[in-house]
Structure 1
Amino acid sequence: MQATAPAPASPLQTRRIQSPNRLMLRRFAKEKTAVFGLAVIVFFALVAVFAPLLTP
């Protein structure tokens, strides 16, 4: 005697649970002005770090 399981009607759909950090990054990336502001801050930080190399 063999028992077989019936085939599922539809494949199981799994939802990927996103972390709060990933949700925050996704929302932040949608705001173009916020991304531009972050780029400006990073630029100034890099200039400050490498200032001794940039000055004569």
Structure 2
Amino acid sequence: MCKTRGFPLAGEQNATLSSLIKGRYAAFFLSLQCINILTKMRITGILPSLLHIPLHRPAF
């Protein structure tokens, strides 16, 4: 990495920022797709209702 006085050059900063933004957009849209898939599975009855699944086992 080329540096000037310990700092990356402007082009490298822009490339890094661009890749970070692309990664965040990709993660965001992937999470939307996952929510969409889970919602469709819930609506069609493939996925059981999460309300009926106990979150923890009762202590005996």
| Structure with a larger share of its residues in strand | 2
TM-score, with normalisation over the residues of structure 1?
Answer: 0.41
Normalized per residue, which structure has more helix? 2
Larger Rg, first or second structure (1 or 2) = 1
> What TM-score, normalized by structure 2, do the two folds share?
0.39
